Chain A
Amino acid sequence: MPLRSDIKKVLMIGSGPIVIGQAAEFDYAGSQACRVLKQEGLEVVLVNSNPATIMTDKHMADKIYIEPLTLDCLKRIIEIEKPDSILSTLGGQTGLTLSMQLAEEGFLESHNVKLLGADPLTIHKAEDRQAFKDTMEEIGEPCIPSKVVETLEDAMDFANNEIGYPVIVRPAFTLGGTGGGIANNADELHEIAINGLRISPIHQILVERCISGWKEIEFEVIRDAKGNVITVCSMENFDPVGVHTGDSIVIAPAVTLADKEYQMLRTAALNIIQALKVEGGCNCQFALNPNSFEYAVIEVNPRVSRSSALASKATGYPIAKVATRIAIGYSLDEIVNQVTGKTYACFEPALDYVVVKFPKWPFDKFVYAKKTLGTQMKATGEIMAIGTSFEAAMMKAVRSIELGMDTMRKKAFTALTDEEVLEKLHDIDVDRSFCVFEALKRGISVDTICEITKIDKWFVSKLKNLKELEDWLSDGELTQEKYDTAKKYCYLDKSIEAISGKSLEEWGIKKRHAVYKMVDTCAAEFSAETPYFYSTYDEENEAEEFLQQHPTDKKKVLVFGSGPIRIGQGIEFDYCSVHCVWALKELGCEAILCNNNPETVSTDFDTGDRLYFDPLTFEDVDSLIATEKPDGVVVQFGGQTAIKLTKHLQEIGANIMGTCAESIDAAEDRELFDELLEKCDIPRPAGETVFTAEEAIAAANKLGYPVLLRPSYVLGGQNMIIANADSDVIEYMKIITSHKLENPVLIDKYMMGTEVEVDAICDGTDFLIPGIMEHIERAGVHSGDSISVYPAQTLSERVKKVIITYTERLAKALNVIGLVNIQYVVYNHQVYVIEVNPRSSRTVPYISKVTGVPMVDIATKIMLGHSLKEQGYSSGLYPVGDYVAVKVPVFSFEKLHDVDTQLGPEMKSTGECLGIARTFSEALYKGLIAAGFKMQYKGGVLFSVRNQDKPEIIDLASRFEALGFDIYATSGTASLLNRNMIATNFTYRINEHKEPNVISLLESGKICYVISTSETGRDPARDSVKMRRKAVERSIVCMTSVDTANALASCLEMHKSIDDVEMVDITKI
């Protein structure tokens, strides 16, 4: 079936800001979809509130709205644009849910809009618990048996007579499963059920057959309108059922299933997609009893997902592209397999390697948060590693995840006793795979480990192979044979040296580079042209062959990506890497990408001329350069991950394009940086470098509190705090010195001024500042967590001029060729420099989009010798446009229990969204709505602030009072406000143990907004932290900076609704 003739103009809904559970994979899927739609000659209208995405790029769609993803906004955009169809299945859960709501309200029908990909009935059948169960029952696919009960008798009856033990009890409407548990027998159920019924606010519990310990298997399935169905990939979780698949190590394809089990589940997946009548991609998750053929359907997602991105990268099969083509009418047997060019999309990829996915968790930032894993996903990102064995893929994975590890041995575990290791095996947490490895190191048997963890023996045995290999390497002489074997398992030379105790030179070992194999969807059955490679230690180098077969005079440029998405290094760096590659191609270069993140556009094999899916360590890069022999390498767009390679690349003689290694060092090394500032005559807050707690206290007292503490070479303000007293410094130094200190701790005078950020492009002679951004929150809140406004609203012309001058001086002194990001603080009308990063930054995508200055493209052209002048740009500040853009951070606090929501110098946000409007207040209003702020006009506002903020909240509280809110406050704050004639209701703190206290007040539903600041507080046991956590649980907007609250008040004072604000198509800016 060809393209449907009734489709001309399609609305695509993106997935919005990056949050845990919804990350870059939807930019990848959405971008693919947009490209397909445009290729088919359709008009594409795109809505996404996330400006850091590639899909919101001007050439991805005909009309682009960076607007809040709310029903109101979508309705207005549909009314303006009058699309004939909506593609609902490529924008994650957000896109699917919104499409569903629009359909259910009848809005789509009344506006003649068709829903493509999945119709409302399909979505309903997959998403609604009961409808899903009924559908599965109809087609004979088993679900996990469960029952909702309201009495103990019913609970006991269901368990005793219908499902047997063990059972899981889940109380309704309690957060994080509090009050639930696993009951192994009737006595235990009696106890847990009584407790659960009591705790549940509606006295209801779900009693479910307990299947923890079962295997978790996923299938990615595709169906077209004709009913053709295929499975693209199977995946098996390392962790058995109980850990969210997004938090599990995953191997593709499934490895422990015999053909009988495999085909049973594959057939089930096909039956499900046929029954749901999905037209496109679908993800089916199964639990399989490891001791029988019994299985249960856990979940079905009738849309592309994180798993489909992984499956696409793991197989080379572009699921999102194929799903899009199907949605607009094509059938699987008409769509050509792009990889072979000869075969069709209606086939199932065959792999001749395995893939391991490893999650990236944010716990290096949230030191107090619980690292346990369960049904709530906690990972912010992931990496993928390809190998010819599980062991090899694991070794690549462990170094790709950037935990400072290059083998499975976790340093912290080496200090534990054997008993402690055995005990730790019981913890289902982020370190479990490393703990299993440590246990093997200690001689604990595979069977014991399997019994405790329920991890399949296959996986544990494979890890044991690594342990045995390491034993062999460390036993006596390191022979060439041992070395070659270790390389086959993808050990790094430096790991082999560490294990064997001597350098390879000393052992007399002949070192070897990796060779590359192609990912071709068909296990070499057909010749393929996919320029998609991964490293192995075989003899034949297919990449080299490919290069010989495709000789070129073009300049070859290798671009390094940014690795897994984490707090502080998000999708924006992928945006930059991809744009660099596109610019290179446009300039007639051959662009080669190396990255290890399966969620991204950068690892789509047709983004560059060639893709290498491999870790980004020195040795991996050496092998790659040995094969590719690039004319130049680019590090400045891949975040800190790529920047870290700079020195090494210079040492091995690679031609680093753009800003050189020395300049990068000068910006990151405190002493060199100070020298530079002195030379440029630019002030910065006074500071010192220290190594010990004693030195730190002495320095802090010399500078005067408050002071800012951070380790040098940081990313996203990792481990950065503001200390107000000696006790803070002591607490901080204790945490930071628990790791080995390779670099000193920096201690600076903290200046509570306005923070200003500038991204500039420099060609060595001229410099261009596309825009100056000002932060709403004063210095002290990490720039990534601040609301950022372009153009700056409150700076004087004089200050702006100073900033431009300083930027020029710094860019030139650092010999910046390309991008530089500089952060300033304006304090008492003086401009100080806080930080200089001679690389791309988080703000580049958003500033590029709102100013229309394609920063990465310009920077890439500069690297290739095209000056700013040549490109038609004059030096200095780019003229300010007609629109104001406000970037608002988005957090994932509801997913991370125990994390304090108070903002500070350490970055906590996972994503961002943008509000664009003609005025500042309208842009802010849109930005806040996009970030999930509910605009309410009556109810209560609760204040609980530290002493230093008290003077400022009088004005703030009076604004809320004037808006008609009831004001609530804890003792000190309440009396202050009442003294200042603001009628305030008094409430007790938690530790006062009296009613009404802040917790019961928050639970009462009277409170709309909370303004809470506390002296310090990373420790979740603190009262103020508990209060903020309660606000998160109850979905109450909680602000931890007076500045944010003032901004909100300004929005409310406009008394506007979203209907009063213009929807902006950014392609017209």
Chain B
Amino acid sequence: MDFLTAKTAYLILSDGTVFKGKSFGAEGEVIGEVVFTTAMTGYQETLTDPSYCGQIVTQTFPLIGNYGINSIDKESEGSVVSGYIVREYCKVPSNFRCEKGIDEYLKENGIIGLYDIDTRRLTRIIRETGVMNGMITTHEPDEQFKSAALEKIRSFRIEKPVPKVTVSKPTKYSENKTEKKYKVALIDYGYKYNIRRELEKRGCDVTVFPSNVTADEITAFDPDGIMLSNGPGDPTDNKESIATLRELIEKQIPTFGICLGHQLLALANGGSTVKLKYGHRGGNQPVTDIDMDRTFITSQNHGYAVVNESISPEVGKVSHINANDKTCEGVRYTNAPAFTVQFHPEACGGPQDTAYLFDEFIQLMEEHK
């Protein structure tokens, strides 16, 4: 137990609050949007989820890193979180698949970490005041430093993060050797690997396209279905992608959208989005499937939501709502063979209860073959 060796580090929030903790992972200074996730497992999936691009992620569960890091449970190649805050990280992880500790992983990926702060207090501040920017630094926040830092913190904005996390060119994966029945174009706004794995498991031949793919390119590819992935940032930043989707709607190709993909399709259909006070991040969000009259526990990670009322009855209807705050969790379109959800049916991390939606996507492709 290194009681004395860890360096002091701080979190400065844009409202001026300062937390004193200790440094782990990479050392240095970083500014980001401070968010919290209530998931109790799946920190590796969280760290590798591209949707967290530009954010400093706080884990509300106090003991992180218990089972270490392995080379399999990753949702993208690297980690794009800006910073990582935990109450306590595990120095002696234990799991048969563990390859390294979380401290080592963060160092390798250049992610600046902060631990030994009261994460519950931080969470309550975010909950009450809404998501805000913050800075992790090892610099002593004296008056001078603090006022300079606050200026930088307050002016920070996550600028068009999608291009940073999408693939550079169309990429075909052929991990799975079984026969492929469906050809799927996955538009990558920062997709989690498990979306692809879930499709492949169900006999899809998946090609991943960059977020700036054009409608013509997709049409030329002639897919059985289009998968719109999750991704980071404000959905309205993605003007080109929205325009592309607007064109694609006309093509009547079976489409399934998740998270940012869900928001973009709504925007393309004339809907609007709104920034939530502090978002939904975790593995315990209840979502009601209105038609089925069933409520499922889902994995979520989003800061924006589609406005329920903005979905015109002419294009479709809200199919899923959050059982807690009644925000939009899914849309079923009538103007195209498309449906989208705000939550993550691919899980990883989080509950697998809504994986049936991938089956529905397969069925939809089958019907339109």
Asked if residues A342 and B324 are in contact (CB atoms below 8 Å), the reply is yes
- Give Cα A485–Cα B6 distance, bound, in whole angstroms: 13
A residues whose Cβ falls under 8 Å from a Cβ of B: 226-231, 253, 255-260, 262-263, 266-267, 270, 290-292, 332-333, 342-344, 346-354, 388-390, 446, 456-458, 461, 464-465, 468-469, 472, 481-482, 485, 517, 522-527, 538-540
Known: A259-B73, A263-B349, A525-B123. A333 touches B38 (CB 8 A): no
- Give Cα A802–Cα B284 distance, bound, in whole angstroms: 66
Known: A256-B66, A258-B95. A347 touches B324 (CB 8 A): yes
- Give Cα A333–Cα B33 distance, bound, in whole angstroms: 33
Residues of B within 8 A of A344 (CB): 286, 295, 323-324
Instruction: Flag whether B369 is at the interface (Cβ < 8 A).
Output: no
Residues of B within 8 A of A333 (CB): 286, 288, 295, 323
Residues of B within 8 A of A227 (CB): 294
- Give Cα A1042–Cα B350 distance, bound, in whole angstroms: 63
Select one of A290, A348, A388, A525 contacting B297, CB under 8 A: A348
Residues of B within 8 A of A255 (CB): 63, 66
Closest residue of chain A to B288 (Cβ to Cβ) is: A333
- Give Cα A333–Cα B294 distance, bound, in whole angstroms: 8
Asked if residues A456 and B94 are in contact (CB atoms below 8 Å), the reply is yes
Asked if residues B295 and A346 are in contact (CB atoms below 8 Å), the reply is yes
In the complex, what's the smallest C-beta–C-beta distance from A1068 to chain B, in angstroms? 44
Select one of A257, A292, A347 contacting B284, CB under 8 A: A347
Select one of A258, A342, A347, A389 contacting B73, CB under 8 A: A258
Closest residue of chain B to A446 (Cβ to Cβ) is: B92
Asked if residues B294 and A228 are in contact (CB atoms below 8 Å), the reply is yes
Instruction: Flag whether B282 is at the interface (Cβ < 8 A).
Output: yes
Asked if residues A458 and B295 are in contact (CB atoms below 8 Å), the reply is no
- Give Cα A230–Cα B63 distance, bound, in whole angstroms: 23
- Give Cα A538–Cα B297 distance, bound, in whole angstroms: 32
Select one of A253, A456, A485, A538 contacting B40, CB under 8 A: A253
Closest residue of chain B to A523 (Cβ to Cβ) is: B60
- Give Cα A228–Cα B287 distance, bound, in whole angstroms: 11
- Other contacts beyond A263-B352, A352-B123, A527-B128: 18, CB < 8 A: A231-B297, A256-B95, A260-B73, A263-B349, A267-B353, A342-B324, A346-B297, A347-B285, A458-B92, A461-B94, A468-B1, A469-B3, A472-B1, A523-B120, A525-B38, A526-B127, A539-B121, A540-B118
Residues of B within 8 A of A389 (CB): 62-63, 87-88
In the complex, what's the smallest C-beta–C-beta distance from A4 to chain B, in angstroms? 17
Known: A333-B288, A485-B3. A525 touches B94 (CB 8 A): no
In the complex, what's the smallest C-beta–C-beta distance from A993 to chain B, in angstroms? 54
| A-binding segment of B41-49, B164-172, B356-364 | B41-49
Residues of A within 8 A of B347 (CB): 263
- Give Cα A290–Cα B94 distance, bound, in whole angstroms: 10
- Give Cα A354–Cα B39 distance, bound, in whole angstroms: 14
Residues of A within 8 A of B283 (CB): 348, 350
Most chain A CB within a 10 A radius of its CB, from B121, B293, B351:
B351
Instruction: Flag whether B368 is at the interface (Cβ < 8 A).
Output: no
Closest residue of chain B to A522 (Cβ to Cβ) is: B38
In the complex, what's the smallest C-beta–C-beta distance from B258 to chain A, in angstroms? 18
Select one of B94, B350, B352 contacting A458, CB under 8 A: B94
Asked if residues A461 and B92 are in contact (CB atoms below 8 Å), the reply is yes
- Give Cα A332–Cα B297 distance, bound, in whole angstroms: 12
Asked if residues B118 and A538 are in contact (CB atoms below 8 Å), the reply is yes
Asked if residues A469 and B1 are in contact (CB atoms below 8 Å), the reply is yes
10 A-B pairs (CB sep. < 8 Å): A231-B297, A258-B67, A267-B352, A347-B323, A350-B61, A446-B92, A464-B1, A523-B61, A525-B36, A525-B123
- Give Cα A352–Cα B42 distance, bound, in whole angstroms: 15
Residues of A within 8 A of B323 (CB): 333, 343-344, 346-347
- Give Cα A706–Cα B108 distance, bound, in whole angstroms: 77
Asked if residues B3 and A292 are in contact (CB atoms below 8 Å), the reply is no
Closest residue of chain B to A224 (Cβ to Cβ) is: B295
- Give Cα A441–Cα B347 distance, bound, in whole angstroms: 43
In the complex, what's the smallest C-beta–C-beta distance from A988 to chain B, in angstroms? 57
In the complex, what's the smallest C-beta–C-beta distance from A322 to chain B, in angstroms? 13
In the complex, what's the smallest C-beta–C-beta distance from B292 to chain A, in angstroms? 9
Select one of A266, A390, A517 contacting B63, CB under 8 A: A390
Residues of A within 8 A of B63 (CB): 255, 354, 389-390
Known: A352-B60, A485-B3. A258 touches B41 (CB 8 A): yes
Most chain A CB within a 10 A radius of its CB, from B41, B88, B296:
B41
- Give Cα A342–Cα B296 distance, bound, in whole angstroms: 18
Select one of A229, A256, A267, A525 contacting B67, CB under 8 A: A256
Instruction: Flag whether B14 is at the interface (Cβ < 8 A).
Output: no
- Give Cα A975–Cα B262 distance, bound, in whole angstroms: 93
Residues of A within 8 A of B158 (CB): none
Known: A389-B88, A539-B121. A257 touches B41 (CB 8 A): yes
Residues of A within 8 A of B324 (CB): 342-344, 347, 526
Residues of B within 8 A of A523 (CB): 38, 60-61, 120, 123, 282
Asked if residues A354 and B62 are in contact (CB atoms below 8 Å), the reply is yes
Instruction: Flag whether B119 is at the interface (Cβ < 8 A).
Output: yes
- Give Cα A770–Cα B315 distance, bound, in whole angstroms: 76
Residues of B within 8 A of A390 (CB): 63
In the complex, what's the smallest C-beta–C-beta distance from B74 to chain A, in angstroms? 12
Could you tell me which residues of chain B, from 1 to 38, have a CB within 8 Å of some CB in chain A? 1, 3-4, 36, 38
Residues of A within 8 A of B39 (CB): 350
Residues of B within 8 A of A348 (CB): 283-284, 297, 351
Select one of A228, A472, A527, A539 contacting B295, CB under 8 A: A228
Instruction: Flag whether B93 is at the interface (Cβ < 8 A).
Output: yes
Interface string of B119-150 (1 = CB under 8 A from A): 11101100110000000000000000000000
Residues of B within 8 A of A526 (CB): 127, 324
Asked if residues B94 and A347 are in contact (CB atoms below 8 Å), the reply is no
Closest residue of chain A to B282 (Cβ to Cβ) is: A350
- Give Cα A388–Cα B124 distance, bound, in whole angstroms: 16
Residues of A within 8 A of B123 (CB): 352, 523-525
Residues of B within 8 A of A349 (CB): 284
Closest residue of chain A to B279 (Cβ to Cβ) is: A525
Residues of B within 8 A of A527 (CB): 127-128
Residues of B within 8 A of A292 (CB): 96
Asked if residues B38 and A350 are in contact (CB atoms below 8 Å), the reply is yes
Closest residue of chain A to B324 (Cβ to Cβ) is: A343
Closest residue of chain A to B62 (Cβ to Cβ) is: A388
Could you tell me which residues of chain B, from 58 to 104, have a CB within 8 Å of some CB in chain A? 60-63, 66-67, 70, 73, 87-88, 90-97
Residues of A within 8 A of B56 (CB): none
Known: A290-B96, A332-B295. A524 touches B61 (CB 8 A): no
